[in-house]
Amino acid sequence: MSVDRKQGAVRASGSGIKVTCPHCEKPTIVRTSEKITRQTRQAKLICTNADCGHTFIVVVEAVKTISPSATPHPEVRMQGPTLKHAVARPVSA
């Protein structure tokens, strides 16, 4: 996942999502994280640039399924791939 740096970068890496400061574009650290819903978390981030020191809130939300869960929860509703079933049609002679 990536977003234009001018808009505040979000990058995925092997260790998780990395969010840069929207002001100085330096890395941030998650200070706190709180579950809002099954699909949403709110986190407080602080910029690692001592000259900046910006502290801000981000919201992370699961919005679309790429690969369906093998153990789906009935309360979770997301967009995702739909299974296309073959329709049996009579063979004409």
The rounded distance, in Å, linking the Cα atoms of 22 and 31 is 17
**CA nearest neighbour of 78 among 60, 64, 59:** 64
Structure token digits, residue 28: 């941030």
Label the pairing between strands 40-47 and 28-37: antiparallel
10-residue stretch averages of pLDDT, the chain, 93 residues long: 46 75 97 95 97 97 92 89 54 60
State the pLDDT at residue 4: 41
State the pLDDT at residue 16: 78
Hey, where are the domains in the chain?
Answer: 5-61
State the pLDDT at residue 80: 80
The rounded distance, in Å, linking the Cα atoms of 18 and 16 is 6
